[in-house]
Structure 1
Amino acid sequence: MPERTSYDVVIVGGGHNGLVAAAYLARAGRSVLVLERLDHTGGAAVSARVFTGIDARLSRYSYLVSLLPPKIVRDLGLRFAVRKRTVSSYTPVVRAGRPTGLLVGGGAARTRASFAELTGSDREFDAWQDFYATTRRLAERVFPTLTEPLPTRAGLRARIDDDATWHALFERPLGELIEKTFHDDLVRGVVLTDGLIGTFATAHDPTLRQNRCFLYHVIGGGTGDWDVPLGGMGALTDALADAARRAGAEIVTGCPVTALATDGRTAEVTGEGCGTIGARHVLVNAAPRELARLLGEPAPPPVEGAQLKVNMLLTRLPRLRDPRTDPREAFSGTFHIAEGYDQLETAHGEAAAGRLPSAPPSEIYCHSLTDPSILGADLVRRGHHTLTLFGLHTPARLFAADTAEEPATRDKLLAATLAQLDAQLAEPLADCLAEDADGRPCVEARSPLDLDRELGLPGGNIFHRELAFPYADDADELGTAAARWGVATGHANVLLCGAGALRGGGVSGIPGHNAAMAVLEESAAR
């Protein structure tokens, strides 16, 4: 039960963004209460012992860090660190009847040689270097704005100061830029995947949802790097919860919020078993769909996720069909499966027609190669490793007939996805899977509907709603602190602080920071 009946700020949801907001506001002297539905904090950014009797703490849902600003880590004094991966990606392929692959990482010379062997010239590598030099310059200009008041469209364009890049990424479908820049189908596919993480779109989708997803995937940290959280993703949210409590915030778990009422100046939050609590401000670290439900308002237009998340534990890394590639290198970066450019477009077309992709695209990563601390000492000694798989182009609509007890479509997709991986291996993955204490293979799969049931993500959408470009339209009214920080709702004292805010999505803490800044700015203006 909460210690008081009223607070300056009540935060609905104890995921990482809610904890960021709580820590900032409590450090500023506000009384803060966080109410979390589950029996633990962290939301989608948690570590868990997924397999019975196995001492392996897997990042169960989200698993890599890119968008978390170092500013938040410094400001909150977080005891948290990330480690860079030595290899960015490996993509197996068969060329001229021979298994080979594209390795990106291990230094420029190594990457150049891999491109040359795959494509027969230096052209694609040079184009790759130029392309990602451009996205890095974009990242350096855009990323700092994410923890500043929301720029206008014209303001962000001026800050980027590169009309060709603006036109290519903010105004035209990403496929046009990819096809103009690269010739090789495999290279094109590797680039496109950053626009499809949790996003169901083609390269030429006129809504540009693939562009918005791509942007957030290449600007993180001002570099675009995707780093490994030491100790797993739960290490971050544990550090955030500690920071919030040290600052004086109160966190109550096991308290589902059932209703929210506001007159624009004061609010009341009702929780199951927690009673009704008064607040000057309510920050909602949940999807806009959940906010509408709490307020008794009409639900926003439905959205859906489009991914399969699979966690695995292996007794050893499998050997590859390409005997020249060390599995420890291949799996230490993002291992792309069935993600050629044409394969991705075909998979989208099949899913859009209501069928599971015949060659499901996915990407795989071995966390324990970079950070063995997530495994118990005995598992490390015996050579065990984790694998995390993220499948693409599997929209929630395909799983409509599944239930938690009978997930037939999910199981069929899992089998087809692992078959695509097996096609790149010199031995069956099943021969490498560990077994739990009950003798079951250590494999856990989650469809979009599973994520909806478990985490309240609408349709399993990991961004809570459609991602938006990180600016305000030039005609938008930015007369309130909440609007200026991109966290406004239809109620003056109710703010979004989760992924559904502008500049939300991913494990970033940015919406939590921005909602806290809006509250403090409004208070200072009184």
Structure 2
Amino acid sequence: MPATHEPDVDPDVVVVGGGHNALVAAAYLAQAGRRVTLLEARDELGGAVAGARLFPGVDARVSRYSYLVSLLPASVVAELGLDLELRSRRVASYTPTQRGDLLVERSEGAATRASFRALTGGDEAYEAWRTFYDRVAELAAVVVPTLTRPLPHAAELRTAVPDALWHDLVERPVGEVLTRTFADDAVRGVVLTDALIGTFARSDDASLVQNRCFLYHLIGNGTGEWRVPVGGMGRVADELVRVARAAGADLRTGAVVTGLTPLPGGGAEVALADGSRFAARHVLLGCAPAVANGLLGSPVEPRPAPEGSQLKVNLLLRRLPRLRSGVDPATAFAGTLHLGQSAVRLDEAYDTAASGVLPDPLPSEVYCHTLTDPSILGEELRASGHQTLTLFGVHAPARLFRDDPAGMRDRARDAALRSLQAVLAEPLEDCLATDGDGRPCIEVVTPVDLEHELRMPGGHIFHGDLAWPWLADGDLPRTPDEAWGVATAHPGVLLCGSGAVRGGAVSGLGGQNAAMAVLAEV
């Protein structure tokens, strides 16, 4: 048994986990003068935001698990002093269909209007599109300023927007609203995908989990724009590590936390696998709530276990493939390329997956990081025209991978690539780069892989179903922890990850909210 030893001075705050939210919390608190010790079980920091050289002998630093940034508030970037450049993509999305193609520019202009007209036969669909997203922006303008402040009550927000808007986006299934708003199934699907990434649900799910996902995807910094981090997602992690360490935070890797014992006066004692123990007045948990419950010895909550439903495929190509439509690949892959994501097909795929069968072809979307930011590639790869592709498949729930993880990983890869191949004018294999061992540069990450590699139960990228980012009207928070949406059943033990009320996606909100709750205590 390893010898137990105590630190010379207990920290003020212990942060469990080293993902981006945990690093945000550590940076804020260290900059505020608190003694912070962060404990990460893995050998690297950054969690799902870390970058990696995936392919042996290939000078490309790829974001393995995440891909774009939208929800990270500009105020958090500025307050922490992060040196980040987030670039806009020139194309928002491109959707090839058998009836025609839909191109949406980031700054919509004549090409977008013409594309809607060619696909739908008139201007009605585009006018409905503009009106719909103007309404979403109206809600975003009300919600976004609250995200870095204590949680508002629903009534505060509801009274600030038209009743019909609140009813459509907060009280009724988003699929019902889209059916009423858009006559074209392909157009409905393009909108609907933002409600389904990372969430296993039908468009008409009565729980409205898809509506909550939709809201988070479309309100980032008031515009909902998803931008490309220069240097890859790993640059976000690297900057958070830099500013946290510069402020004096003690960031430890290979530090496996085995248990938490709440202390009578608040906070907890933290036990590590090597026998170390820390006692702190505040312990912030960057892990999923289900993992936190296990560390605290709490019974499992009586609700469905988290289950992720996404497949991520990372590829390196020698060049971008040609498309059947004839559109320039630099346009098709610059934004989000939607594949098999009509509204009807998305609900059909959900039903198939819910019955225990992998949808094939798998509805997916693809984008090319290097068209906007080639810096993740070495000089030789840039000069030779290499490009990365990120493919994100939906409705691939963890349950499908439990019995045969490796075999189902291969089947899911093939189902996802069939979606891509269906719109290509040449074999994708002809464009794939090979690594130093001569193998195709392709990596597949399933929900079960996320569970094993990042300790995300069920591979759920949000640590569980997203919550509305506000309080129910009857809720009366009694402590800063509750007011900021980071409370657990134990005083001084706070959630600071995606499982916080406003956690989810690459936002830093869980970490910022937890840090503010700590600093708000008298």
Name the TM-score class by shorter chain.
Answer: over 0.9
Say whether the 8 Å CA contact 2:364–2:393 is kept in structure 1. yes
- Structure-1 residue corresponding to 2:367: 365
Of 34, 48, 55, the residue aligned with 1:30 is 34
Matched, 1:245 2:245: yes
| Counterpart residue identity of residue 209, structure 1 | V
* 8 Å contact kept, 1:2–1:250: no
C-alpha separation in 2, matches of 1:4 and 1:162: 58
Displacement of 1:5 after TM fit?
4.4
Aligned pairs (5 A) from 1:293-304: 293-300=294-301, 301=303, 302-304=305-307
Q: Do structure 1's residue 144 and structure 2's residue 148 form an aligned pair?
A: no
Distance 2:464 2:173 in 1: 20
Gaps of 5+ in 1: none
Give the match for residue 261 of structure 2: 261
Kept after mapping to 1: 8 A contact 2:313/2:391: yes
With over 3 angstroms needed to count, the CA separation of the structure-2 counterparts of 1:417 and 1:336, relative to structure 1, is same
Cα separation, 1, equivalents of 2:253 and 2:6:
10
Q: Distance in 2 between matches of 1:496 and 1:205?
A: 28
Give the whole-Å Cα distance in 2 for the aligned partners of 1:426 and 1:59: 28
- Show the 5 A alignment for 1:42-441: 42-95=46-99, 100-105=100-105, 107-159=108-160, 161-264=161-264, 265-273=266-274, 275-300=276-301, 301=303, 302-323=305-326, 325-403=327-405, 407-441=406-440
C-alpha distance after superposition, 1:436-465 (max 9, x if no partner): 001111010011111000001110100001
Letter in 2 for 1:318: P
> What residue in structure 2 maps to residue 443 of structure 1?
442
C-alpha displacement of 1:315: 0.3
Q: Given residue 517 of structure 2, which amino acid in structure 1 is its aligned partner? A: A
C-alpha separation in 2, matches of 1:336 and 1:144: 31
The residue identity in structure 2 corresponding to 1:155 is E
Distance in structure 2 (CA, Å) of the matches to 1:274 and 1:391: 42
Taking a change above 3 Å as real, the CA distance of residues 15 and 2 of structure 1, as seen in their structure-2 partners, is farther
Deviation track 1:69-112 (CA, whole Å, cap 9, x = no partner) reads 000011011111100000000011112xxxx3111006421100
Amino acid of the structure 2 residue aligned with 1:229:
P
- Shift in Å at residue 297 of structure 1? 1.1
Give 2:389's aligned amino acid. Answer: L
Question: Counterpart amino acid of 2:38?
Answer: V
The question of 1:6 aligning with 2:10 is answered yes
- Report which stretch shifted further, 294-303 or 44-53: 294-303
Q: Does the 8 Å CA contact 1:310/1:389 hold for their aligned counterparts?
A: yes
Cα offset, 1:137, TM superposition: 1.6
SS where residue 462 of structure 1 aligns?
coil
TM-score, normalised to structure 1's length?
0.96
CA offset digits 1:17-47 (Å, max 9, x no partner)? 1111111111111100000011111000011
Which amino acid is 2:311 matched to? L
Q: Is the 8 A contact 1:347 1:359 kept in 2?
A: no
Answer whether contact 1:255 1:274 (CA < 8 A) is retained: no
CA distance in 2, matches of 1:256, 1:168: 45
Checking the alignment, whether the CA contact within 8 Å between 1:2 and 1:252 is kept in structure 2 is no
- Equivalent AA in structure 1 for residue 15 of structure 2: I
Greater shift in the superposed pair: 295-304 or 497-506: 295-304
Q: What CA deviation, in whole Å up to 9, does each residue of 1:486-512 have, x standing for no partner? A: 000000110000000001100000110
**Alignment match, 2:495:** 496
- Deviation at residue 478 of structure 1 after TM alignment: 0.1
Write the deviation string for residues 119-150 of structure 1: whole angstroms up to 9, x where unpaired.
11011111111111111121111111111100
Distance 2:520 2:489 in 1: 18
What secondary structure does 1:7 align onto? coil
How far the C-alpha of 1:420 sits from its partner, in A, is: 1.6
Q: CA deviation at 1:3?
A: 6.2
Q: Within 5 A, what are the aligned runs for 1:484-523?
A: 484-522=483-521
Q: Does the aligned pair in 2 maintain the 1:486–1:501 contact within 8 Å? A: yes
- Deviation sequence 1:461-487 (CA, Å, 0-9, x none): 000011111111122230100000000
Spell out, residue by residue over 1:247-305, the C-alpha distance to the aligned partner (whole angstroms, 9 max, x if none): 11110111111111112524211122360011110000000011011111112331100
Q: Distance in 2 between matches of 1:385 and 1:162?
A: 45
Indicate if the aligned counterparts of 2:288 and 2:499 stay in contact, CA closer than 8 A.
yes
> Which blocks of at least 5 consecutive residues in structure 2 are unaligned?
none
Query: Matched residue pairs, number?
Result: 514
- CA shift for structure 1 position 402: 2.2
- Would you say the 8 A contact 1:34–1:249 is kept in 2? yes
Shift of 1:419: 1.2
Cα distance, 1:329 vs structure 2: 0.6
Q: Deviations over 1:196-254 (max 9, x none)?
A: 00111111000001100000000011101000011000101110111111111110111
Tell me how far 1:341 sits from its aligned partner: 1.0
How large is the RMSD of aligned CA atoms in angstroms? 1.2
Aligned-residue sequence identity (percent) comes to 56
Other structure's SS at 1:52 match: coil
CA distance in 1, matches of 2:114, 2:267: 63
The residue type paired with residue 469 of structure 2 is: P
**Quick check: 2:323–2:424 contact (8 Å CA) kept in 1?**
yes
2:25 corresponds in structure 1 to: 21
Is the CA contact (8 Å cut-off) linking 2:360 and 2:416 kept in structure 1?
A: no
